Each structure stands twice: as structure tokens, then as C-alpha cells.
Amino acid sequence: MAAMIAHAPILIIAIPLVAAFLTPLVGMASKRARNALVVVSLLFVAFLVFALARDVVTNGIRVYTLGAASPEQTIPTGFIMPVRIILEIDGMSIFMGLIITTVALASLIYSLHFLKGQTGQARFYSLMMLLYAGMMGLAFTGDMFNLFVFLEIASIAGAGLAAYRANMADAVEGGFKYIVVSTIAGLMVLFAVGILYAQYNVLSIAALAHYMQHTLLDIIALGLLGSVFVIKLAAVPLHMWAPDTYTVAPAGVTPMIYTSSAASMYALYRVSFTLYGSTIDTTTLGRVVIALGVLSMFVGVMMAVHQTDIKRLMAYHAISQSGYMLLGVGVGLAVLADPVALANYGRNAINGGIFHMINNALYKGMLFLTAEAIFFRIGTRDLNRMGGLGHKMKCTAGFFIIGALAISGIPPFNGFASKLLIYETVFKFNPVLSVIAMFVSLVTLASFTKVFYSTFTGPEIPAYKEVREVPKSMIIGMGILAACIIFFSIFPGVVMDTIVAPATEALIDQASYISAVMGGVP
């Protein structure tokens, strides 16, 4: 077991990568064997992620150096800086790993029945595993170049999946927009990495943070990286691609692409806190992040409530919810250099933002799945053509209610716990921001009331008399996320102590991240 934990960082990335390439081959022999392969590999990887999470929470940061005599040997003998590929897993990385794995499991199980009878399933599962590997790599990587590589893997797989329903013109358009935006974003990351490498001759995040001089070139690299991650996480005003892509992606894929946006948010935090933390003016950077957060919350929700396409509406809500996370973490970043304010409310503001990340991945993922369940049965996303579905799709309606109440921040659901934390801490920073956040929650509730009324209530519509509840695998997929939401709602203290607080601590504690790789190097 100890050996497995020691090699878990690389296994978590390698297993889905290998499974991705084996899937089409196994699929040629048997479709059931192919499905079993992806499910079993993901279950095994999930076991490794949970075991690694326990290890990181108990023993602290774990590093894994590829090609070294021992995985812990980050700097080769005779060298003064790291030259090998290093995976570095701290509280924040594993927190992201847990989000990605939970959503991936639910999405995969949901997709099993959803795809029945459709062509190109081998490619679908292959891309799904590639997307998972890309996101996990992004969360675990300890160097900037591999951050670019994994970002590219996730982007290419995500675009392929978004355009999976190639018979629908808007799906191809959604996939095309995603790949254009992602490719330009990827090139900008590569350019930024080049700037940093040209100055410091290292690619390791810890080593770069150690040697960072705060030159004008560093600021340009930060601008490039920040803008790229902002467009990838779909914050206003760089959010426009998200509704176009989320809306058309098939069931199971939308929560995954949305989670890859959360992974980009993780990358933004990693760069802001860990790479640049002590060398830049975090107050200004924090204020920029807050401004993006407020814009995203407000514009996202106002655009959402106006939509009549159920998935487009949810896509705008995804943008709006990202705003809460940016707001919470932005406040923490803005007071990072002020120990008193950080202790008073900054740390809890980051806790709120981070807690909201996992809450949102769960209920937003589930809401996307309920929207696709409706589309699966009635073949339209147009709310104007829906009604009375609650008579036949009782489970889906139940899951929708749980998700809608959670996203609107209604107690006792988990969305309330993280939003309350954000309201209270942000209020201490600036009361106006807190009022805006509460207003956005109110409009969110109004928006989901509209969806619930339009979709599930009212008399049965004659055209949908034959509609039935969705198949079991789809219910299990939604059920996994619903169960997590209920657990997180009842036990917010456990979640906070075991995964959220260590993630916040990892973000704030730049010195530990650096010393895990650099050791005593001056």
C-alpha cells in the first residue's frame, strides 16, 4: 500500500492516459469490455485519489520526480536546481483532484446509457479519459511546461467531446469555438513559459517562485497567464465561448468541460499565490480578481434569467457562480500581505471561495445532467416547449430541486454554507460587494424557479404523454452527485476541516511549496 501511495501521483495520470488509448482497441473486440475498462480504470484511479488525499492531509506535500532514483529526489546529485519533471501534490492540488474525480465518475456512469445506440462511442470514452488525465495532470503538475501540456490535452479532448454530436451544426460550432479559444490560450501560456524560462533557466513552479525577481518580463508573463486562465474559466468579459460550448455538449461532457474550467481557476490561483505570491503587489492583483468576480456574478446571472434554452441558462449560471469563487479568493489575495486582515477575514474568504468551488462542481454538474435528462426524453432544450414533466420524471425533478436550492444558497444546502462564508468575510472587506453577492443569489433563485415552473409543473402536455423517467445509469450518475450534495450540506464542518482548510493553507503557504522541491537550496 505504501508503495502504491508513493507512486499514486503518476499512476493517477498514467492509468486514464493508457485507458484512453486502449479503449478503441478493446472496443473492437467487445463494447461491454470497453465500457468495463473505462469504468474500472476510473474507479481504481478514484481509489488512488482518495488514498493520496488522506496521505497529503496527514503527511503534507508529496512530490514525485519522474526518472529519479527515488521519487522524493527533486534535485539530481551535482545539480543546484530541479531539471526533471516533478509532480507536486499539496492540499490545493488534491482538493482539485477530488473535484475532478467525483464529477468524472458521475459523468461517466451517466453517459453509459445516454450513449446507447449512438456511433463513435469508442472515441467518446477515449476523449473522456484523455480529458480526465489532462485535468488531473493540470492539478498535479509541479512545472510550468507540463501545465501547458496538460492544458492542451484537456482542451483538445474537451473540444472533441463538445462537438461529439457532429450531426448537430451548433455542436460543431461550439466545439470549434472552444478549440479556437483554447489554442490561442495555450499559445499564450507557452509564450509566458518561454519568458520565464529565458530568464531563470528553470520550469519548476517551486524553483521559479524561489528565483523570481519581479522584472517587467515577469509582469508580462503574469498578464499572459492571468488572461489565459480567466478566458478558460469563463469569467466576464471573457466568458462568451462558454454558453456556446456548454449548451451543445452531450450529457456527461458538460460537467466535465465545466470542471476543466474549474481546473483553469485552480491554475490561476496557483500562479497568483504560489508562483508570484511574495514578489508582486497582491493587493492590486486581488482587486483585479474581485472586479472580475463581481462582473461575472452580475452579468452571468442577469443573462441567465433571460434565457429560454435550459442549458444556455445553466451555462450563464456557471459563469455567475465562478464569480463567487473569484470574489472570495480575490478578497483573500487582496489582503495576503496584511497579516491582521488575513487572520480576521482573509483566510475565511479564501475558505469560502474554495468551498464554493467543490459545492458548485457538485450541484452545477448535477443540474447540467438533469437538463440533459430532459433533452434525452423530449428532444428539446427550449423551455417554452416544456411543461408538466414532473408527472413522469419524478426522480429528475427531485434531483433538479436539490440542485436548484443548493445553487440558490437556500439553507440547509451546501451552497448556503459557502455563500454565507463569502458574504460575511467579503462584508468586512467591502459591504457593497456582499450586497451584490446576495442580490445575485436572489436572482439565481428567481431563475431556477422559472426553470422549475416551465419544465416540471403544470398539466401534462399532450406531446409528452409517453415520456418516461430516464434509465437507471443516468439516475445513478445524478444520484452520486446528489448524495455528495446532501453529505456536504449536513456535514460542512467535516468538509471544511478535511479538504477545504488544507487547500487554503496550501495556497497561502508559498514557502512550504517551494521548500518541498528546493529543500535547502539558497
Partner 1 sequence: MSVLAYGYAVWAPLIWIVVLVVIGVMVLIWRNRGQKSYKKGTAQTDIFLSGVRVPPEGQRHVKSENIYWGFFEALKRLYSGMMKPHTGIVNDYILWLVAVLAIAILILAVSG
Q: Classify the C-alpha dihedral 419-423-424-429 as positive or negative.
A: positive
Site residues for partner 1, 273-312, by CB under 8 A, read 280-281, 284-285, 288, 299, 302-303, 305-306, 308
Phi, psi of 224 (to 5 degrees): -65, -50
Q: Which residue has the cell 450518475?
A: 477
How many angstroms separate the first and last alpha carbons of the chain? 35
Candidates 379, 462, 520, 522: give the one binding partner 1 (CB under 8 A).
462
In whole angstroms, what is the distance from residue 63 CA to residue 49 CA? 15
Site residues for partner 1, 332-391, by CB under 8 A, read 348, 383-384, 386-388
Residue closer to partner 1 by CB (options 5, 461) is 461
Binding span for partner 1 by CB under 8 A among 10-18, 178-186, 328-336, 472-480: 178-186
Residue in 63, 161, 36, 89 with CA at minimum distance from that of residue 517: 63
Is 489 among the residues that bind partner 1 (CB under 8 A)?
A: yes
Burial state string for 345-368 with b = 16 or more CB within 10 A and e = fewer than 16: bbbbbbbbbbbbbbbbbbbbbbbb
Q: Which residue has the cell 492583483?
A: 285
Site string for partner 1, 243-262 (x = CB under 8 A): -x------------------
Candidates 60, 376, 450, 473: give the one binding partner 1 (CB under 8 A).
450
In whole angstroms, what is the distance from residue 99 CA to residue 79 CA? 36
Site residues for partner 1, 191-220, by CB under 8 A, read 216, 219-220
Count of Cβ atoms closer than 10 Å to residue 113 Cβ: 18
Long-range contacts of 336-344 (CB under 8 A, 24+ apart): 336/273, 336/277, 336/282, 336/283, 336/286, 336/508, 337/282, 337/283, 341/429, 342/508, 344/428
Count of chain residues binding partner 1 (CB under 8 A): 65
Residue closer to partner 1 by CB (options 387, 477) is 387
* Closest CB 250 distance from partner 1, rounded Å: 21
| DSSP character at residue 335 | T
Candidates 4, 180, 198, 432: give the one binding partner 1 (CB under 8 A).
180
Candidates 7, 10, 491, 505: give the one binding partner 1 (CB under 8 A).
491
CA dihedral of residues 274, 279, 339, 426 (deg, nearest 10): -70
Site string for partner 1, 220-239 (x = CB under 8 A): x-xxx-xx--xx-----xx-
Task: State the DSSP string of 404-453.
Answer: HHHHTT-TTSHHHHHHHHHHHHHHHH-HHHHHHHHHHHHHHHHHHHHHHH
Residue closer to partner 1 by CB (options 470, 496) is 496
Site residues for partner 1, 407-426, by CB under 8 A, read 411-412, 416-417, 420-421, 424-425
* Closest CB 249 distance from partner 1, rounded Å: 17
Q: Which residues bind partner 1 (CB under 8 A)?
A: 176-177, 180-181, 184-185, 188, 216, 219-220, 222-224, 226-227, 230-231, 237-238, 240-241, 244, 280-281, 284-285, 288, 299, 302-303, 305-306, 308, 348, 383-384, 386-388, 411-412, 416-417, 420-421, 424-425, 446, 450-451, 453-454, 457-462, 489-494, 496
